[in-house]
Each structure stands twice: as C-alpha cells, then as structure tokens.
Amino acid sequence: TICRCVRSFRTFHCKDCGRCVERLDHHCPWVNNCIGLRNQRLFFCWLVALFCSLLFAIARCSRLIADVARGSNASPLRAAASRAPLACLVCADAALAIFVGSLLVRQTVYVLANLTTFEVVLCPAYVESRFPQRDHRLWYFSGSTVPRFASRCRGFWLRSGSADLEDFGVAPDEVIADRSPGAAP
C-alpha cells in the first residue's frame, strides 16, 4: 500500500500504521506506533529511563536478597524459599536489561551514523551510495570522525537537517519521487 503523497527525503511508508513517516526508524510494538523524526528523541529517552529503572530494580532486589540472607534465623530451606521470588525477579530484570541495553546501544550507534534502523535493514540507494563497501561489521562508521559524530548528535537532538545535507548531499525537506521499496531512487 502506498499513500500516493509527495514525500520528502528519508520518508518511508509504514505498512503497520498505513502512513508515511519522516525518517522512519521502525514500527515499535511496545508503544504501538512508528518511531520517526517527530518521536525518536522521546523513544531514545524512554529507552534510557527503562534501562535505568531495570538497573535500579536489579540493585534493589539484590540488596533485599542480601538482607534476607544476613538476617535470616530460619531454616536454610525456608530462607531459600523467601529469596527465590526475588531471585527470579532479578533474573527476569537482568534479561530485560540486556535486551533494552542492546536496543539503546543500537539506537546510539545509528544516531552517531545518522542512519535509521529501517535504512540499515532496507539499505536504499542513497545509503548504498554513501557506504559503497558494506562488507565489515561496522560499515556505517566508515569515514566518520569525532566532529562528525558530534554534528550528527546535535542534529538528532535539535532535529536539524544539516547532517543529512552533509552525509547524503540532500536537504531534508527536498521532495523526491516515489521511493517505495523496489522503486527506483
């Protein structure tokens, strides 16, 4: 399904939402919405808050387990039974923290590279022309420098299109023809 609307550079159609999204990163099932230019910063902050909350829960539950172990005069079986639910909670939180942490790292890497998840997976023609050799694991960092990383971060947080102009040679509000997957750029 295509919207039949004029789209600017780096705008893609989301099949889940049925609409075009500027700088589409992905469709997130957790928030049941597309993550794009208008809400990607909020999504990033949400990931940071979620990750910190999980780390706090792990630390607090671990502390409670240690407190129960120190102050327990009960039989070893009874003490273990009182710690088991907390230990399960710590394990579940640790698994979630690893998952959310990996999402946070991936989002940070893509911000530094001025790419979106959708662009890395789909690899449209303008990404192929910017990165002609994608044969190594961190291909999206080729040719990057610390000042470029800083410029891309500034562009992300200020929603500036200057990084797009520098990285892709196209102004962010430049209108382009139909760029649906499979269509010519």
**Rounded-to-integer distance, Cα 180 and Cα 13, Å:** 7
Cβ pair 34, 27 in contact under 8 A? yes
Label residue 93 exposed, middle or buried (CB < 10 Å: 0-12, 13-18, 19+). buried
Q: Is 45 annotated in the active site?
A: no
Instruction: Outline where the chain has alpha helix (H).
Output: 40-71, 76-113, 117-122, 125-130, 146-158, 162-168
Q: Which one from 28, 45, 88, 91 is the annotated catalytic residue? A: 28
Cα–Cα dist 171/120, whole Å: 20
Instruction: Give the active site residues.
Output: 28
